[in-house]
Structure 1
Amino acid sequence: MTRMFRSIRGRLFLLFLTCMTVILILVSFMYYTRALSIIHSKISDIAEKNISQTAGLFDLLLEGYNSVTKSLNGNYELTRLLQENSSNPSVSVINERWITNIIGAAYYSRKEIVGIHIITNSGKVYSYEKQFAGVIDINYAQTEWYNKLKASSGNMVWLGMYSSSPINTLQQDRVFVFGRQLYDLTDYKSIGIIVIETDPTPISDALSNVSISPGTNVFIMGAEGQVIASNGGQEDKEPVLTNLPRPTNEQAIIVDDKSDQLIVAAKTALADWTIYGLTPKGDFSAEINQTRMYLFMVLLVLIALSTAVASLVSKTIASPLKLLIREMKKVEMGNFKGSVNVNSFDEINSLVSSFNRMVLRMDELIERIKISSVSEKNAQLQALQSQVNPHFLYNTLDMIYWMLDEKGNERLSRVVLSLSQMFRYSSNWEEASQTTLRQELEQIRHYLNIIESRLEDRVQTEIHVDEMWLDVILPKVTIQPIIENAVKYGLEPLGIPCKLQVSAEQHDHELHIQIVDNGMGMEEETLRQVKASLQTNSDFILESTHRSRRGIGLRNVHARIHMMFGGAYGVRIESEKGVGTTVIVVLPIPLQGGTWR
């Protein structure tokens, strides 16, 4: 495993996968945090809206209940009948019947009313209810609800939710109870109390509107902190939280989510009640868990896709490099014939192309070195074969020179001396095939002595080479074959005095040695063939290995310069029929450290 991640493919895979995973985790965390904030904000908005609607429903409901009590308290006939004390039984029966009818009319004014009871200060009780009518708790005067009503001053008293009727002991159904004192509006004197019992379903339905989860606890709390009603019917139990915030007149609705519960509270306008909705934050976990699970699944899918993409990208980048490394190992083993063919990124394609060109160049250089070595060995062999006792020949030429000098034949003695020097120069292989321009020009002067003597001064020679170029390295016998061709094919056929010039000039980082004659020149076709032969080095190489040294010419010179310095250097030729020929030998100019420019 460790070795796998040390490869470029493994590291690219690990790097890409790590970056993608980190980015995905960061994006997922930000998305989850934002989604969580939106969910809480949405739930808070829903809770605030629900409790605001519930408070409005309670205001409407209580206003309706209040109007029923007001209608009874404001009924002049009812208050008169309740105060009338007749000794005639018939009149009493009629009065009770009228009182019952008035109460019955109020009873049927709202369908949720289950019982209306009027208790006068004299102890008479008038009731109108669905069943068990007339069954009254004889100890009602000692009850808390009765005392609250008697202590009131005519305002509505909301007694709250009861598990059974507080007046009719046989009535066991849950009821919502409220009431007020009855007054004679003429002299504003209390004549009794009125108690109304209603079905708690409308209140329970209104409370359920506050719930935003199954665990929501809804309470109606009075001004003194007592529980008026709750969604669970647990009127005698206090809420889970103590010190609950209470809305004010300026802030009718409160939303508090700083604890482990979401608390919403609203104040009713008609009664001094506060409606509370307490929702544990754990109840929100279903939607949060669903969001978390969805996000987790998406994250897993994206990581799987990132893994596949990372594998593909790392393989796409690493495969060409592996091919390149395989070919480099082959080159290291000495195989220069292979090449890498890939279609990848531009940078990798450029690297592979550069490697292919380098291998091809190395193969060409090695082949050139082999051929150059073979050619040099053949030339050395031919030179050695031609050296038939060279010391004997040197001594013989020297003897002929002294014999001619004694006889006063100075011209012929110079020719023999030049021939001897040329023979020594061309047959000396101790320094291989290299020489300096200085030595080459000295050899040229010996050769020109022979030519000028043979042509009887019909060739005038000028050599202009600056002293700074005399130590430039070049192949041995470079300029002499060019001058030989100029004399043989350009100057000698004219039969008239001609001029031959040798000069050297610098062009950028190249040294141009020019051999210029004003001889016959060349036809265009002949010049084209000569230039074409200079560009085909292989023809010379094959030919030079089988021919004798007397065939050395321009191609020979060009090929040796090409092999010694590279393809940018060699021989260039220009000629015009009847005007003359210019041959340029292009050589590199070396730096002071010996490195070629």
Structure 2
Amino acid sequence: MMTLIVIVSVLYYRKTTDIIHTKISDMAEKNISQTVGLFDLLLEGYDSVTKSLNSNYELLRLLEEREKVTDPVLSVINERSITNILGAVYYSRDDIVGIHIITSSGKLYNYEKRYAGVFDLNYKKTDWYAQLQASTGEMVWLGLYNGSVINSLQEERVFVFGRALYDLTTYKKIGIMFIETNPKPILSALSNVTISPNSQVYIVDRQDRVIASTGSEDAAMPSFNGLPRPAQKEVVVDDGTDQLIVSAKAALADWTVFGMTPKADIGSELKDTRQYLLVVIAVLIGLSVAIASLVSRTIASPLKLLIREMKQVELGNFKGGVNVKSFDEINSLVASFNRMVHRMDELIEGITLASISEKNAELQALQSQVNPHFLYNTLDMIYWMLDERENDRLGRVILSLSHMFRYSSDWQEASRTTLRQELDQMRHYMTIIESRLEGRVTTEIQVEDRWLDAVMPKMTLQPIIENAVKSGLEPLGRPGKLRVYTEVDAGELRIVVEDDGVGMDEQTLAFLQHSLLGGRIVRTEGEGPASASDTTEGWREAAAGAAGAHGPSAVGGGIQPAAQRRKGIGLPNVHRRIAIMYGDQYGLRIDSKRGEGTTVIVVMPR
């Protein structure tokens, strides 16, 4: 029913639109015909004014005599007589702004509304002067100007036309004459062509030069190239573009009048019809909906409830149910759906509990891999320090070692800690390392105070620092620097651990990055199944074998076999604990260049 209503309404609307467009086109055609007729009458009046001056024997005689008179008194009398003749013509019409005559010898006579006697000395270089000089007695319609063409002080808009002056006896050219008139009659006539507020009317000559228009001075002029140019007493209507264009030609001047109206404005005339049609459609649609609802309530409503509940199941909500009273077939379908959803909820709950238990077990397994690898080196160092009786240094080292064991043995609160506590742990570790390496490693920490309470997995920084020291800084033959700082980008908090050690080659770096991204577990030859921490040792072995990028793990100065080393919390271990806590998009990012150092970035949410 609604489809039929829409189809009928569209057809009715199209028919109404066609009728209105036809009437508007007819109206525009009549308007432009009347406007062209007004132009012809107006131009005939202007033409008669110029002819009256050109045929004024007394004026022509005075102009020629003044060229020859040498008596100053007689010259002044002749000039006044010429001015009186021009004044008589000036006051014969209300729309004349100024009358100007320029003789062939360059003398200027004028009669104008104000600023008489002021003229532009460079008039001979202007386009309008060239047109009048090139004419042979016919009327020259110069068009609309924003001010007087000869008097720069006259800034009012004027319509200018003129012709050459000839001696009627000898047919000798005496000079040129041009008249400036008020453009309001022409603009008023142009306004008759407009059929909407956005309509624009232009008078264009044969060279597509705009003589006058209803548009503003700053408005861009359209291109008239290719537009239809009608013959005399012909009106052309073109609606093939986004505008309705009507054009007609003036009889006395080689002008074409173009009226351009956007079709969007024409559509506004259909507003009342469209509103009435929309009201009728809305009423009919309302009745159709009411009837359809009444007929389909006993079948459609239960099915809608069932579909809505199925969408909830798609979104993961298995707690709902559907209760309807309808035909037996629909009731049976709903009951089967409810049983299926209940069973799925039980299965998902069991799987969820199993997954949580598995993750808890995995987390506990990962957390249990605390690496006291540095303990042996520390104990060995304490032995030699006791031997050398360096009691002050020994006290600091033992105190730092005490804090580290106390921190690493406390795994309460799901192994969560803050960045502040991790940095304290790092400082204790670096106290031991700096004492052992005797000034070969310096540490710089630049962490903003606002991030010190950021929550993170325990033992996150210590494995990274340990790898940086042992694999990057210890093998250096010069003092090294370890820098820790924070930065924020795109909603991420990044803790950057940067060293200027020996770095890694591309093969070792790719190996380590792949183990982080893919979660691969690496196994060295001769060992059993590898744990997550083995990746770190595998990186060290690969770096040592490929490029010598790390130092030995020494106990008493000797190199220990890989099988004898205690495994620590490796970088993949740290990466996975961060991912478990915050999500897979967070974790570690590693970059390194051989001979320049290594950068490890801990990425967490802000």
- Taking structure 1 as the reference length, what is the TM-score of the superposition? 0.47
- Taking structure 2 as the reference length, what is the TM-score of the superposition? 0.47
Bigger Rg, which one: 1
